[in-house]
A = this chain, B = another copy of it.
Amino acid sequence: MARLICDISMSLDGFVAGPNQTLEDPLGQGGERLHEWAFPLVSFREPHGLPGGETGADDEVVAESLRATGAVVMGRRMFSGGAGPWEADPNADGWWGENPPFHVPVFVLTHHARQTMTMQGGTSFTFVTDGIEAAVEQARAAAGDKDVLLAGGAAVVQQSLEAGLLDELQIHLVPVLLGGGVRLFAEGGRGTDQIGLERTRVIDSPAVTHLRYRVVK
């Protein structure tokens, strides 16, 4: 069965988005800093249709993840920044235009049903209204013998961890302090007595530390 792997950038103080997220500033104040390490990489630029870029350890980590990913699961807010009925969402078609950088089927968790959108370049967006377990099940079926990448946001990661669905956790730990925003790990989560982690790999560059853990079930 396809493994479910959370792959997310986090600040040293534990945030995956900065404070005061808006449509104009979807990552919140300072939140762009969490992703700056990736922007120059070949493996980031190529799926976005951009030429050139940097290679090296960070690039290989991202390229490895791309090669392994057969489907993606994400939350509604990560898809559009919105909530509620789609008719009232000014960003209802998502952030990425006609040719999104995923190039695999994407399953979006939402409370509001909607037809699947088939985009250019192999990306499709399927909207799943019956919860994280159903979304992961559909994504696993779509991924075949590849992995399912859980892209975020934090609430979806927490749900998948609490539900025992997550197989691995890859955190790109960025040496910045955001001082506030959206935490990857909320207060009141289940602790280590219930959720064990085994660190499987650490890859390190000046820009970011790639921490990889297996969830022990």
- Copy total for this chain: 2
Stretch from A63-71, A122-130, A182-190 that touches the partner: A182-190
Interface string of A44-62 (1 = CB under 8 A from B): 0000000000000000000
Give the distance to chain B from A201, nearest Cβ to Cβ, in Å: 9
State whether B176 touches A180 (Cβ < 8 A).
no
Chain B CB within 8 A of A84 CB: no
Number of chain A residues whose Cβ lies closer than 8 Å to a Cβ of chain B? 37
Contact status B18-A185, CB under 8 Å: no
Asked if residues B191 and A178 are in contact (CB atoms below 8 Å), the reply is yes
- In chain A, residues 13-44, which have Cβ atoms closer than 8 Å to a Cβ of chain B? 13-14, 18, 29-30, 33
How near does chain B come to A109, taking the closest CB pair, in angstroms? Answer: 22
Q: Is there contact, CB below 8 Å, between B187 and A33?
A: no
A211 cross-chain contacts in B, Cβ below 8 A: 12, 173, 209
Whether A191 and B12, one on each chain, are in contact in the complex, defined by CB atoms closer than 8 angstroms, is no
> Which residues of B sit under 8 angstroms from A209, Cβ to Cβ?
199, 202, 209, 211
* A94: B residues at CB distance < 8 A: none
Residue of chain B at shortest CB distance from A211? B209
> Do A175 and B190 have beta carbons less than 8 Å apart?
no
Bound complex: CA of A183 vs CA of B193, how far in Å?
19
Alpha-carbon distance between A209 and B199 when the two chains are bound, in angstroms: 9
> With A202-B209, A209-B211, A211-B209 known to touch, is A14 a contact of B192 (CB < 8 Å)?
no
Shortest C-beta distance, A129 to chain B (Å), equals 29
